[in-house]
Amino acid sequence: MDLDGYSEEFGQSANRSVSLLIAGAIVWLAVGLLSTQLSERMGNSLSKSLESFVDE
């Protein structure tokens, strides 16, 4: 393989690495945002359940 072939192969592998990095960041961002929303909803429903249990 000559220098041009190595250069082309490196360019292709570098592009895949960056794409994977960006995709991973997007997934973790979505997980983080969903976890804050689910925590708030779960906390509110748990709080209401405990209030009704204490009132009885």
The mean predicted confidence, pLDDT, of the chain is: 77
pLDDT of residue 4: 82
pLDDT of residue 54: 67
Banded pLDDT at 56 (limits 50, 70, 90) = low
pLDDT digits (tens, 9 = 90+) for 5-38: 877 887 777 666 778 888 999 999 998 888 887 7
pLDDT digits (tens, 9 = 90+) for 31-44: 888 888 776 666 66
SS3 of residue 36 by DSSP = helix
Ranges of each domain in the chain: 22-56
Reading the block at residue 10, the tokens are: 């490196």
